[in-house]
Structure formats: C-alpha cells, structure tokens
C-alpha cells in the first residue's frame, strides 16, 4: 500500500510536478508492472526453496489488480473524461492503449477467482484461468514498449523483457528438472 499512500500524500502536498495527470498515470503504471512481476515470480521463488512467499502470492496478485485498475481508470478519466466512445476509438487507434486494455481486462478473471471458494469449485479450470498471467505480463510489457517508443526510451522495457525471460526459463528449467 506504500505506493498509493505516497501518491495520495503527493497529491495532498501538490508535489506531482508540471503535469500531475501524467505523474499519476506513470506512478500507477509502474507499480502495476512491478507488482505483476512480483506476483509472476513468486512461484519461482517458491520452487527454489522459499515456501513462505507462496502465502503472499494472492495478495501480490490482488494488489497488482488494484494498481492496474487505478491506472486504467485514471487513463480513462484523464485522457477521455470517461467518454467511453472516445476511449473505444483510442483502443483501436493506438497500440499502447490496445495492449494495455487487453492486459487490464484479462486481470479481471484472475481477481474474481482469487479466493478459496473459486479454487475449490473450479479445480483444474482454476489453473488454466490463472495461467493468463503469462499473457497479461506479455501484453503489459508490450503496452510499456509502445508507450516508451513514443519517447524513444527503451532501457526499462528491454530490461524488464530480459527479466521476464529469465524468470520464465528458470521456471521451465525447474519444472523439467524436478517435475514440479
């Protein structure tokens, strides 16, 4: 909760810089991505021996959903003043909006099924639903790439892609070695 508390504080003391709306969008977007990566990597940490991290996995996923939802709503509010027709047109005209929207929408089934009842009722389907995290993180990174390409700034998107590939291959390696 620290990033949202920090953001609320910065709003209160009017320390958001020359473009407050952009600051809010970037802040929420960055923390959305960070928490997506943390959530994605918790299974890897667990595979390599730190089992207690799995207790926090659901919390990280739900916080990620919270920040993604805030980022998404802030975008619709700041860029389109909640005029959904304009937003829908934007989805089909700008690739970064398209991929960001896909990522945001795909988090909804994960958030809705992140409870013990869903786990019991859905059984094997639950794992398939939660495997959407792979698509979500790819779409979120694609969103980030397109956003940063407008500024010709690729350092963080490339660094995060390398991190994603590293996490992915470590997970697969562990799966094939241990059969976990």
* All structural domains of the chain with their residue ranges: 2-173
48, 141 Cβ separation under 8 angstroms = no
Question: How much is the pTM?
Answer: 0.89
Q: How does pLDDT run across 11-32, given as a tens digit for each residue?
A: 999 999 999 999 999 999 999 9
Residue 2 in tokens: 């620290």
Q: How far apart are the first and last CA of the chain?
A: 32
Average pLDDT, integer, range 84-107? 97
DSSP 34-51: HHHHHHHHHHHHHHTT-G
Q: How does pLDDT run across 143-178, given as a tens digit for each residue?
A: 999 999 988 999 999 999 999 999 888 887 765 555
Q: What is the pLDDT of residue 156?
A: 93
- Would you place residue 41 in the very low, low, confident or very high pLDDT band (cuts 50, 70, 90)? confident
Q: What is the CA radius of gyration of the chain?
A: 17
Q: What are phi and psi of 113, to 5 degrees?
A: -105, 15
CA–CA separation, 1 and 64 (whole Å): 11
CA–CA separation, 34 and 124 (whole Å): 28
């Amino acid at each position: 909760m620290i990033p949202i508390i920090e953001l609320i504080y910065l709003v209160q003391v009017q320390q958001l810089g020359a473009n407050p709306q952009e600051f809010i969008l970037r802040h929420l977007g960055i923390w959305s991505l960070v928490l997506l990566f943390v959530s994605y990597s918790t299974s890897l940490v667990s595979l390599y021996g730190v089992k207690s991290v799995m207790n926090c996995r659901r919390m990280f996923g739900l916080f990620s959903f919270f920040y993604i939802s805030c980022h998404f709503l802030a975008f619709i509010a700041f860029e389109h003043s909640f005029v959904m027709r304009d937003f829908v047109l934007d989805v089909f005209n700008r690739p970064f909006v398209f991929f960001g929207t896909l990522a945001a929408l795909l988090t909804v089934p994960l958030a809705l099924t992140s409870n013990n009842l869903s786990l019991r009722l859905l059984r094997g389907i639950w794992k398939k639903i939660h495997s959407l995290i792979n698509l979500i993180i790819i779409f979120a990174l694609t969103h980030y790439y397109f956003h940063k390409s407008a500024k010709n700034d690729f350092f963080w998107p490339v660094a995060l892609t390398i991190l994603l590939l590293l996490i992915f291959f470590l997970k697969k390696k562990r799966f094939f070695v241990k059969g976990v």
